[in-house]
Amino acid sequence: MAGQLDSASPSQLPHRSKPAEVTEQPPSSLAPAIGDNAGEAAESAASAGSDGAAPPSQESALEASDPRGLDTDSVGAPSSFSIGLSVDNGRDGDISEHGIQRPSSSVSATSSVYQFVEEFGRTYHAYKEGKYFMPNDIPEQERLDLQHSIAVRLFGKLALAPIKTPKRVLDIGTGTGIWAIEFANEHPESEVLGTDLSPIQPDYIPPNCHFEIDDAEDEWVFSHPFDLVHSRFMCGAFSDFPKVFRSAFANLAPGGWAEFQDYYVKMQCVDRSLAGTALERWNDLLLDGVARLGKNGLAVAKFKQQMVEAGFVDVVEKKFALPGNAWAKGREEKILGTMQMMNIMDGLHGISIGLFTKVFGMSVEEVEALIEDTRRDLQDRNIHFYYVVDKYERIWAETRIKGSKLFEVVLSGASW
Ligand SMILES: C[S@@+](CC[C@H](N)C(=O)[O-])C[C@H]1O[C@@H](n2cnc3c(N)ncnc32)[C@H](O)[C@@H]1O
């Protein structure tokens, strides 16, 4: 498994051929490390530093009483883990950006019914116009497909939930549909449905794969339950994850699974090298900007609690460290880091231009200057930044008591 974080401190870790997955720790370790208890977090960071491990970035953590209305419960959550990445000072085995293979881009299936909104030289979804802040044009579609490759490489497979032959699968916020298409190809026995605000899925798709335009935050009106509900990289999209979890729960067949994968949008750092950079400023503006749109870039820290509240049982969380460029030691780390650097560089304009001009009143020139500085920092291997990507799965099964409206929810043996 690539990229899972390790409980050992980075300096103690032997070199691995693949980035380490986060050691499975009880999800309760998602307790706030900085936001709610800055003193405790600083103490633990200091003690981590004393045994040679690089402490997580403290400077970049948002304050507990964040004036921007961010959900500070979530802030700094990843820093309670060691990440299994170590700085490569020798620059061994460099990975060229040109050596990274991009997946071929999706062919847009745009219908004339959907007249995309044009702004800043980009196009945006027309259905529920303005709900999602990112563009939907070809450059963004190519970025999404690259991001898909990163996710599959990092996680090792399309889905970690131990599903065998799911009959009906739903992918909400499917984007270019690349996950749904690959899942349908891998599982010819499954019927896979992908939904999105944008009709940007290809025309040529497996016969067991379908796409619909739908807002996943609306009431779900599917005629049949699903065996797997999947969702990935939606923290900049959904305002109401608890509602989405409730919808997923209500639309799962007994024994079905839901799997949600997302970033902590706040960049982490193994030392102080991110502090004061344009990259950090850009990342803070992004978190602040989406918060002002009612989204929480740190939402993933609450997923477990919210899934349990929605009725899910046996929620399993796995954390993965994804380096932001090729700064980390190890070939796999360098490949993933280079891919992620390209992903963010490709996304810089689309992420920033509408958001920063509209939310902060910045001029286009100001945003472009910040993008330029951020682009430079993104390529700087002296900035040891990384993302934490989380996956959550859960299983539930219900046993109806004959003749009664009551039912009980039982575990049916998650195999993790
Ligand atoms: C960052 S992309 C992720 C795409 C895909 N899940 C993936 O991992 O490749 C977010 C996608 O969610 C879609 N989206 C945003 N808000 C949505 C909503 N309320 N309902 C359905 N799709 C939504 C966007 O149009 C975009 O395609």
| Residue of 140, 158, 234, 239 to mutate, ligand 1, most atoms within 8 A of C-beta | 234
Q: Could you identify the atom of ligand 1 that is nearest to the CA of residue 148?
A: 9
Rounded to two decimals, what is the model's pTM? Answer: 0.77
Domains, the chain, in order of start with CATH, read 3-410 (3.40.50.150)
- Mean pLDDT over 30-57 rounds to 31
Per-residue pLDDT at 279: 98
Average pLDDT over residues 211-219: 95
Higher model confidence: residue 248 or residue 71? Answer: 248
Range of weakest confidence among 2-11, 25-34, 290-299, 368-377: 25-34
- Region class of 233: left (phi > 0), else alpha (psi between -120 and 50), else beta: left
Give the model confidence (pLDDT) of 325-334 as tens digits: 999 999 999 9
Mean pLDDT value across residues 362-385: 97
**pLDDT(200) > 70:** yes
Band (92; pLDDT cuts 50, 70, 90):
low
At residue 275, the pLDDT reads 97
DSSP SS3 for 198: coil
What is the 175 CA–ligand 1 centroid distance (Å)?
5
What share of the chain has pLDDT > 70, as a percent?
Answer: 69
Cα(112) to ligand 1 centroid in Å equals 20
pLDDT in tens, 263-280: 889 999 999 999 999 999
Q: Is the pLDDT of residue 57 over 60?
A: no
Candidate from 169, 174, 193 with most ligand 1 atoms within 8 A of CB, to mutate = 174
Q: Tell me the C-alpha to C-alpha distance, in Å, between residue 38 and each of 9, 43, 305.
A: 21, 9, 22
> What are the pLDDT digits (tens) for 99-152?
555 444 333 344 543 689 999 999 999 999 999 999 999 999 999 999 999 999
How far apart are the CA of 277 and the centre of ligand 1, in A?
29
Give the model's confidence band at 95: pLDDT under 50 very low, under 70 low, under 90 confident, else very high: low
pLDDT at 192 over 50: yes
127 burial level (CB within 10 Å; 0-12, 13-18, 19+): middle
Q: Let me know: does 374 contact 274? Beta carbons within 8 Å.
A: no
**Torsion angle in degrees (nearest 10) through CA of 200, 204, 206, 211:** 30
* Ligand 1 residue neighbourhood (C-beta within 6 Å): 125, 131-132, 144, 147-148, 172-175, 178-179, 195-198, 215-217, 232-234, 237
